[in-house]
Amino acid sequence: MTIEILYPEVANLYGDLMNMEYLRRSCPEIELVNTALGEEPRFLREPVDLVYMGSVTEEGLTLAAESLMPRRDEIAARVDAGQRFLVTGNALDLFGLDITADNGWSLRGLALFPTHARYTMMSRYNALYVGKYGDIDIVGFKSQFGHSYADGDVTPLFDTLRGCGLNEGVMGEGLRRENFMATYVTGPLLILNPPFAKELLADMGVSEPSLAFEDAAMDLYRQRVAQFSDPGTGIVYH
C-alpha cells in the first residue's frame, strides 16, 4: 500500500506531514514515498492508494503550481477516475481557479474546482473548527490568510457546526470531487480525529483498521470534541 506525499520540502507547515506518518505507524504495510518539486507525480504512472499534500508557504504555492500545471489535464483525469487525494490547509487553494492577495500577488490554480481564494496578508484568520463528516465529529484548527469563494455549486467535505466553512458566509467546509478531499482544517487533521483516520484507512482497503495509540488518541479526541463544541469556548483567536 502506497501513499505519495507531494512536495514535502515546502508543504510541511503546522505539523501536517505527521498525518501520513500516523497512518504509517497505524498500518506498517504502508509505504510513504515523497515527490519533490519538478518531479512527475508517481500516481500519474503507477497505482497509488492515497496522494497527500499539506499546508504550504506562499512561495511554495507558486513552486507547486509550476510543478503541477503542465500535468493539469492528467491530474483531472485521474481525479475523475477515482484517485484518492487528501489535501489539507492552504494547499486546497491550488486546486481552485486562482489565488489573489491584497499585496498584488496572484496565482493561477489547477481549476479542479470553480473557486477563487482571496488573501488579506496582514490579517490571518485563526480559529477552532467543529464539523461533521457523515456521523463523525471533526475538530481542528484553521490558520489562513484568506478564504475561498465558489462560482456556483461545490460539494463540501465537512458540514460546519462551529466556525466557518470555505468562507465566513457558508457552512460547507472543504471541497470534494469523487475521492478527492480537501479541507482548510489542520491540526494535524488525522491525529486529532482518529475516527476519520480509521475511515480513511478503511476506504483505502485496510480491513478492520486500528490506530497507533488508539485508546489515548480517542480519549483526547473526545475531550477536544466536548471542549470545542462548548458554547463557552471561543472559536476565533489571535
What are 63-117's pLDDT values in tens digits?
Answer: 999 999 999 999 999 999 999 999 999 999 999 999 999 999 999 999 999 999 9
Mean pLDDT of 135-154: 97
User: How many structural domains does the chain have?
Assistant: 1
Mean pLDDT of 151-163: 97
For the stretch 175-196, pLDDT in tens is: 999 999 999 999 999 999 999 9
Measured CA to CA, the distance from residue 188 to residue 137 in angstroms comes to 15
Question: What CATH number does residue 85 fall under?
Answer: 3.40.50.880
Percent of the chain with pLDDT over 70: 100
- pLDDT for res 237: 86
Position 126 in a domain: yes
Nearest alpha carbon to residue 200 among 30, 54, 74: 30
Percent of the chain with pLDDT over 90: 97
Domain that residue 61 falls in: 2-229
Position 92 in a domain: yes
Q: Taking 80 as the threshold, does the pLDDT of residue 15 lie above it?
A: yes
- pLDDT for res 55: 96
Mean pLDDT of 34-49: 97
Position 234 in a domain: no
- pLDDT for res 93: 98
